[in-house]
Amino acid sequence: MTDTDGRKVAFVTGSGKGIGAGIAAEMARSGYDVIVHYARSEDGARKTKELVEAEGAKAFVVRGDITNIDEIDTMFADALAEAGRIDVMINNAGVTRFASFLEVTPELFQEVIYTDLRGSFFCAQRAARSMVERGIRGTIINITSNHQNGCWPIASVYGPAKAALNKFTQNAAMELAAHGIRVVSVAPGYTKTGGDKKPPPSKFSDWLKTRAARIPLNRFCEPWEVGRACVFLAGEGAGYITGTCLVMDGGALLPCVPENTFM
């Protein structure tokens, strides 16, 4: 077991890229050692490890497919063997899959539900068990989406999965309060994740402007902003906050019409 020198440890799933990488870097910047998790993006996880270490924090890299319970158990065993403890569990790993309701396949349904809901559920459970065993009054943060409240076309699986994850947050918060463990969620909207599903670079600027223009704050969220929200929610200043969700979508769900105008 690695000596963490009394520092707290944050476990961030899906931290090889995008929002997860931003969260990991901000947790490290705020004094946490970080367990960097990935399923397929090994190169990204190594880069995140470098970001964490650049902040003077320790980074422990683990791999696991969170749709597989055996792999969840293995990655938690590896993480605890390396880091010794988990003070903050951030369930960020997820998949975004869209299809018309009439064309949703059982395979797509299972992939989204098993990753975004089931995987996060059992990662939270394993983390909570380790906190209870060690007497740690920790925090579990579930990354959901503003899809939990808003309705977009072709999101009949993704939206309900995120809504269920937020409802799970509430139930888990009620049960774990007796152990001094808080459970909260963060619901980002459009975020600059650097993913490969956006339009080609030549068209990206127009794509970004079109969508940003419909958001009251007129821009996308940055991964580091989600990270700073997690730092706050994990800290003492949020010590009386549990079972609730912080929506970070720049006000995207506020307008009744897409033009965001009174005219």
Question: Residues with catalytic annotation?
Answer: 158
Nearest to 145 by CA among 156, 160, 127: 160
**Residue type for 190, please?**
Y
Cβ-contact 13, 39 below 8 angstroms: no
For residue 37, what are its two tokens? 């998790």
154-177 burial: b if 16+ Cβ within 10 Å, else e: ebbbbbbbbbbbbebbeebbeebe
- DSSP alpha helix (H) spans, the chain: 18-29, 42-54, 69-83, 106-112, 120-134, 158-176, 201-212, 223-234
Cβ-contact 18, 86 below 8 angstroms: no
Supply the Cα-derived Rg of the chain in whole angstroms.
18
* DSSP 8-state class, residue 191: B
